[in-house]
Amino acid sequence: MSKEILPEPYDGLLARIGELLTTQRRQVYQTINTTLLKTYWEIGRHIVEFEQGGQKSAVYGKELLKKLAKDLTRSYGKGFSQSNVYYMRQFYLQFQIFQTLSGKLHWAHYCELLKLDDDLERNFYLKQCEYEGWTVRELRRQMDSLLFHRRQRTHRYPI
């Protein structure tokens, strides 16, 4: 008499498929995020190179970004407001080596970080976002509460 092989419990099958889907969805999301950041960085690079026109310093004007935002929105849809195109330009200027960017952060994180003028402060919040896994809302909350400045006061050395 042969022994019938019983299939594993259904719950185990469902759990393994669920883990696979979760892992693969996370990987797809990470790929999309990295591609979006790279695209916005490249757009910023193109804008800066166009502005400079082969010169060392840029001839910058809001009219260029206004026109570019209008034309990009008409051709490619939402996501190209004047402020967003401005942030793309700033993104490239602040992070000129793409490989130094964190794939853990999203475009909205970088837009918030670009509002900061101080490089040390920006890098502090960037590292905190990476380490703590802050959402954009938490990043704003910490920036609004002046965490960097409070930490700097409690330590007699720069962060």
Q: For the chain, what are the domain ranges?
A: 9-96, 102-159
Quote the pLDDT of residue 130: 92
Q: What are the tens digits of pLDDT across the range 8-26?
A: 688 888 999 999 999 999 9
Quote the pLDDT of residue 107: 95
Which residue type sits at 22? T
Q: What's the whole-number mean pLDDT along residues 114-130?
A: 94
Quote the pLDDT of residue 55: 65
> What confidence category does residue 104 fall into, taking pLDDT thresholds of 50, 70 and 90?
confident
How would you label 115-135 residue by residue, b for 16+ Cβ within 10 Å and e otherwise? ebeeeebbebbbebbeeeebe
Is 64 in contact with 51 (CB distance < 8 Å)?
Answer: yes
Quote the pLDDT of residue 74: 96
Q: What's the whole-number mean pLDDT along residues 67-85?
A: 95
- The overall average pLDDT reported for the chain is 88
Instruction: Please compute, for residue 17, the number of CA atoms within 13 A of its CA located in the half-sphere on the CB side.
Output: 5
Q: What are the tens digits of pLDDT across the range 41-54?
A: 999 999 999 988 75
pLDDT at 58 over 70: no
pLDDT at 155 over 80: no
In the chain the beta strands, taken as DSSP E runs, fall at none
